[in-house]
Amino acid sequence: MSHAVRFSLVTLVALAALAAPVAARAAPASTSFTIVGYEYAFHGGTISTLQPGTSCTNQRYLVTGALQDVLTSTTSGGAGSFSVTLTHYRYSLFGHCVIYKARVVGTVSFSY
């Protein structure tokens, strides 16, 4: 193998090695995420009533919003958006309507 071909090959391998970590940071290592959140006054999104829960039946809301500063173990500074249906499961106890659990189902998208 000539010196010029060997030098070119080494240069290509070195460039590929430098580019590989950049490509690895372009997307998270997984598409499964652990999330933590709380229900409180939503800021910057929208909440629309789908079912008001008359007579202490379950309540349903459409909740949409934007996410910022999304990070994973390999990325940071990402953004995203979500659109979910929030359901409050309720029952009547001694004349008071009690929420005993809540559930969200919907979609979320991320950009890194």
One DSSP character per residue, 10-56 reads HHHHHHHHHHHHHHHHTS-S-S--------S--SSSEEEEEE--GGG
Residue position matching structure tokens 């173990």: 73
Read off the amino acid at residue 27: A
pLDDT tens, 1-29?
554 444 444 444 444 555 544 444 556 66
Q: What is the pLDDT of residues 74-95, one digit of tens each?
A: 888 888 889 999 999 999 999 9
**Domain assignments of the chain as residue spans, ordered by start:** 35-111
> What φ, ψ does residue 6 adopt, rounded to 5°?
-60, -45
pLDDT grade for 36, boundaries at 50, 70 and 90: low
Percentage of the residues of the chain whose pLDDT score is greater than 90: 33
Q: What is the pTM of this model?
A: 0.64
